[in-house]
């Protein structure tokens, strides 16, 4: 597997490329133009500048996360073709700097959702937390609470300028059912696939997080059955998955290793992280070590190893350690993700050693 690291750019990430170079095994940077809003044109000079920063430090630029999808595409408005044309233009430009995978999502209004950004754990670290009952409250009240606790950072899809239009967005999504969202996703991908095949870039959809509908909005990439429907809907090798164990792991009914074994040929990007799920449906993000949470991380890595996975992997969200939450983007501190890299590679290397010894 190809180990990567998500980086928010030299102007808005406290973790530098020089920090990342000191983490053994990290070969590529997962990047984006994070100041771009959905539907905005990506300029070639900005793409090239960021790619040059990455390659100058010896990293691959193969994975971009995310090129966000405009709401008009998700809703299915007549204006969607205009925004799909812009998306296609971005794909073509990204192919010129070595991009091979684009991670995106199709979640209405909100991206991944948490109710507390720095919830303290028993060991004194803190992490992203989801209180299921709180999501039943008025979404605007919850949004304001989250933004107040975020400091200078925001979660993806929770940008203040976007959330200022919350009432307008909810009105626009009225009548968008699960079936309609699937139809609109199919339309989007059918437009993209000829271009992706031409420039050799794979689209890797991220699952819904958490893996169930929230605020009455449909969420359609959340289980084995919905993923199978998605893959069969546009059966192209250029349409596949970002398989996120943290997102899908919020629902204990999802058998993650079995899903990896079933879908491995269409998994182009893997987010590996751990969550501890409580009986009442709450969950909190914990260390990558499998025993600390509800996700059997060792078995997850084993499922990839058994199938000879050569795609891209990154440690996903980590805890905030040793006081770094004071200036840390929620979920994206340095220390716990670096520990996660070493844990994941340690499991992989152990499996490799067993395989080599068994063949001699």
The number of folded domains in the chain is 1
| Average pLDDT estimate for 198-220 | 95
Checking if the pLDDT of 144 tops 70, the result is: no
Examine residue 125 and state whether it is found in any structural domain, yes or no.
no
Active-site entry in 70, 264, 271, 288: 271
Whether residue 35 lies in the annotated active site: no
Whether residue 328 lies in the annotated active site: no
Per residue in 257-292, pLDDT tens?
999 999 999 999 999 999 999 999 999 999 999 889
Active-site entry in 71, 209, 316, 336: 316
Residue 36 and residue 38: Cα distance in Å, rounded?
7
Whether residue 103 lies in the annotated active site: no
pLDDT band at 145 (very low <50, low <70, confident <90, very high): low
pLDDT band at 216 (very low <50, low <70, confident <90, very high): confident
Checking if the pLDDT of 27 tops 80, the result is: yes
Burial class (CB within 10 angstroms; exposed 0-12, middle 13-18, buried 19+) of 308: exposed
Please give the residue range of the domain that contains residue 259.
Answer: 2-108+174-275+285-317+324-358
Active-site entry in 71, 244, 264, 268: 244
Choose among 240, 233, 276, 12: nearest CA to 121: 276
Strands, E, within 86-167: which ranges?
101-104, 116-120, 126-130
Per residue in 60-96, pLDDT tens?
999 999 899 999 999 999 999 999 999 999 999 999 9
| Average pLDDT estimate for 19-43 | 96
Examine residue 155 and state whether it is found in any structural domain, yes or no.
no
Number of neighbouring beta carbons within 10 Å of residue 236: 17
Examine residue 147 and state whether it is found in any structural domain, yes or no.
no
pLDDT band at 215 (very low <50, low <70, confident <90, very high): confident
Whether residue 206 lies in the annotated active site: yes
Examine residue 133 and state whether it is found in any structural domain, yes or no.
no
Q: To 10 degrees, the CA torsion angle through 311, 314, 315, 321? A: 160
Examine residue 338 and state whether it is found in any structural domain, yes or no.
yes
CATH number of the domain encompassing residue 195: 3.20.20.150
Checking if the pLDDT of 244 tops 60, the result is: yes
Share of the chain above pLDDT 70, in %: 92
Examine residue 293 and state whether it is found in any structural domain, yes or no.
yes
Q: Name the pTM for this structure.
A: 0.94
Examine residue 156 and state whether it is found in any structural domain, yes or no.
no
Examine residue 179 and state whether it is found in any structural domain, yes or no.
yes
Beta carbons of 156 and 66 less than 8 angstroms apart: yes
Beta carbons of 93 and 130 less than 8 angstroms apart: no
| Average pLDDT estimate for 215-235 | 96
pLDDT band at 133 (very low <50, low <70, confident <90, very high): confident
Checking if the pLDDT of 360 tops 80, the result is: no
pLDDT band at 317 (very low <50, low <70, confident <90, very high): very high
Share of the chain above pLDDT 90, in %: 78
Whether residue 316 lies in the annotated active site: yes
- Spatial neighbors of 88 by CB under 8 A, at least 6 apart, are 191, 192, 195
| Average pLDDT estimate for 11-19 | 89
Whether residue 130 lies in the annotated active site: no
């Amino acid at each position: 597997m190809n180990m990567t690291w998500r980086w928010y750019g030299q102007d808005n990430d406290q973790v530098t490329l020089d920090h990342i170079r000191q983490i053994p095994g990290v070969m590529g940077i997962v990047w984006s133009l994070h100041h771009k809003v959905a539907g905005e044109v990506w300029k070639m000079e900005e793409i090239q500048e960021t790619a040059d920063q990455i390659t100058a430090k010896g990293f691959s630029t193969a994975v971009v996360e995310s090129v966000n999808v405009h709401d008009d595409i998700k809703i299915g408005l007549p204006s969607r073709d205009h925004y799909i044309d812009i998306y296609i233009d971005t794909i073509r430009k990204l192919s010129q700097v070595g991009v091979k995978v684009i991670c995106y999502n199709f979640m209405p209004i909100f991206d991944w959702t948490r109710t507390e950004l720095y919830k303290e754990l028993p060991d004194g670290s803190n992490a992203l937390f989801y209180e299921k009952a709180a999501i039943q409250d008025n979404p605007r009240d919850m949004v304001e609470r989250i933004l107040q606790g975020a400091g200078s950072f925001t979660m993806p899809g929770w940008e203040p300028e976007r959330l200022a239009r919350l009432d307008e967005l909810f009105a626009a999504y009225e009548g968008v059912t699960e079936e309609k969202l699937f139809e609109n996703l199919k339309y989007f991908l059918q437009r993209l696939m000829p271009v992706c095949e031409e420039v050799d870039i794979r689209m890797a959809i991220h699952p819904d997080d958490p893996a169930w509908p929230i605020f009455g909005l449909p969420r359609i990439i959340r289980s084995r059955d919905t993923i199978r429907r998605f893959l069969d809907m546009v059966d192209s090798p250029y349409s596949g998955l970002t398989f996120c164990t943290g997102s899908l792991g919020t629902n204990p009914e999802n058998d993650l290793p079995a899903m990896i074994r079933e879908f491995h040929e269409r998994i182009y990007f893997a987010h590996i992280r751990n969550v501890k799920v409580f009986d009442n449906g709450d969950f909190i993000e914990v260390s990558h070590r499998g025993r600390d949470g509800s996700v059997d991380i060792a078995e997850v890595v084993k499922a990839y190893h058994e199938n000879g996975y050569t795609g891209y992997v990154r440690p996903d969200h980590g805890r905030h350690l040793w006081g770094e939450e004071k200036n840390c983007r929620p979920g994206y501190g340095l220390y716990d993700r670096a520990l996660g890299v070493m844990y994941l590679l340690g499991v992989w290397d152990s499996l490799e050693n067993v395989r080599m010894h068994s063949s001699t």
